[in-house]
Amino acid sequence: MSTSRTILITGVSSGIGRSLAVEFARCGDRIVGIARDRRLLKALEREIRSEGGDGIMLPCDVRQERQVMNAIKRGTSVLGPCDILVNNAGVTAFGNFLATSVRSFDEILDTNLKGAMIVTRAVLPSMVKHKKGTIINIVSYAAKTVYQGSSAYSAAKAGLAGMMNVIREEVRSSGVKVINVYPGAVLTPMWSPKQRALFQDTMIPSGDFARMLYELSLQPASMTVEELVVRPPIGDLRV
């Protein structure tokens, strides 16, 4: 059994983030969850507490620095300093590059890349000060390969990986770990209903992915996993 930790997870209202919050809470950790959908946040908080878990879910847009600072301050004042940050919040829009508007491009980069930067800046000083902590980034296999129709998303995720690789080197001597996880197709609402219906039997269930990530968070102080690729056995979906 691990000692109870405070876990900050972004994008907890659905998909991977929600599964992570439930899994970590079931295993005894305290959850500070942030996302934009108040209704879904309330439902998640009720579920965690009904199962005996400890968590506080806070409405927050990761693109807004003041909202992020206020949410983290409120959450950690109740549950304690952040031991593990999971940068999970993400959005995408599928479409050919020439059909991608500047507005859509900005929204995807602001959430997936800028949002992770803002949240990380909010918690990293405390981790460095205490010489411990882990930052887990849900990147995407799209940062390692080419998927047509995902130019903005691939750019954002590749940027996230590059930024976190630099941060890892900058804080390596402080004892803070930075882990980039590159999932392939995980069964979440990010996929269209049609795609989920066609490929649900070959996608990774979000609960299985969450369990794997929990196990990853337990790595001993004597080692660190810096990168992890997690894909369905079939590899790429034949979309």
Q: Give 144's contacts (C-beta < 8 A, 6+ positions apart).
A: 182, 229
Tokens 């460095």 belong to 128
φ, ψ (nearest 5 deg) of residue 122: -75, -30
141 is an active site residue: no
Per residue, the 3-state secondary structure of 1-66, as one string, reads: CCCCCEEEEECCCCHHHHHHHHHHHHCCCEEEEEECCHHHHHHHHHHHHHCCCEEEEEECCCCCHH
What is the rounded distance in angstroms from the CA atom of residue 44 to the CA atom of residue 167? 31
- Of residues 141, 153, 182, 214, which has the active-site annotation? 153
Torsion sign over Cα 186, 188, 191, 193: positive
Q: Which amino acid makes up residue 107? A: E
User: What is the torsional sign of CA 128, 68, 51, 137?
Assistant: negative
Nearest in space to 232 (alpha carbons), one of 182, 170, 160: 182
Catalytic residues, by residue number, are 153
